[in-house]
Amino acid sequence: MRYFLELSYNGKNYHGWQVQPNVISVQEKINEGLTKLLRTSINVMGAGRTDAGVHASQMYAHFDIESAIDTILILDRLNSFLPEDIVIKNLFEVDEKSHTRFHAISRSYEYRIFIGRNPFLFDTTWQIYRNKLDVVKMNEAAKLLLIHSDFKCFSKTADVNTYICDVTFAAWKQNNNLLTFHISANRFLRNMVRAIVGTLIDVGMSKISIEDFKKIMDSRSRSEAGFSVPARGLFLTHVEYPKSILKNE
């Protein structure tokens, strides 16, 4: 039988989502918690792979088990088996063919910048102490992402089958000192959002023009794009599935 988990986590203390040798990952902690609770070996599959230090306000994972479980009871107990910076918000049965990664139809991220100094937001924002950003120009450049398809110039991975992504939303929004970049797409490449944000910052600081931003995307060269902003400001915020998969939620 297959079950979906809906969860959130603060990525500060983890070397990303995926299990890796000699480092602590979110996936590893959930595997350990479920294995202890259900008394059988459990390996969860996530909707994506966030990098070291990246957070998720919404992530999905699935696991298989031979016998049916009491989802309400297990959900209530599971969080006590996990670190406080990982929280399971929902647990529900799905069709055994449903897959958290392959059946996701879109994903959304936010990158959060705080203009100034705030010690309480240091772990979840990138803080810029002096605001020299032209947000209007940054939004003009961001619009180009919606009509572009090949994002190789923003990718850290060199061995993927395709660099084609369908970006459906990309915009900066400012609320007082908090500046947030919102982006949604059917898929994302490794390091893609952080590289996009870094390059848009270059636009906002007038280091490059909007036309330069377009040329960078056309170049398909990572060396032409801007720097990757720190991981601590990046959040996976939403994973969307067909309604038929979440009908039992």
Residue 248: count other Cβ atoms within 10 Å of its Cβ. Answer: 13
Fold identical between 2-103 and 106-237?
A: yes
Partners of 128 in the β-ladder: 115
Model pTM greater than 0.75?
yes
User: Catalytic amino acids?
Assistant: 51
- Checking if the pLDDT of 246 tops 90, the result is no
- Checking if the pLDDT of 249 tops 80, the result is no
Distance CA 242, CA 236 (A): 18
Task: Locate the domains of the chain by residue range.
Answer: 2-103, 106-237
The DSSP code sequence of 122-172 is TTTSEEESS----HHHHHHHHHGGGG--B-GGG-S-S--S--B--EEEEEE
- Can you give the pLDDT at residue 36? 96
Q: How far is Cα of residue 94 from the mean position of the Cα atoms in its chain?
A: 23
Q: What share of the chain has pLDDT > 90, as a percent?
A: 92
Question: In a 3-state reduction of DSSP, which class is residue 184?
Answer: strand
Each residue's pLDDT tens digit, 167-177: 999 999 999 99
The DSSP code sequence of 15-82 is S-SS--TTS--HHHHHHHHHHHHHTS----EES--PPTT-EEEEEEEEEE-SS---HHHHHHHHGGGS
CATH class of the domain at 106-237: alpha beta
* Domain 2-103, CATH: 3.30.70.580
In one-letter notation, the amino acid at residue 214 is K
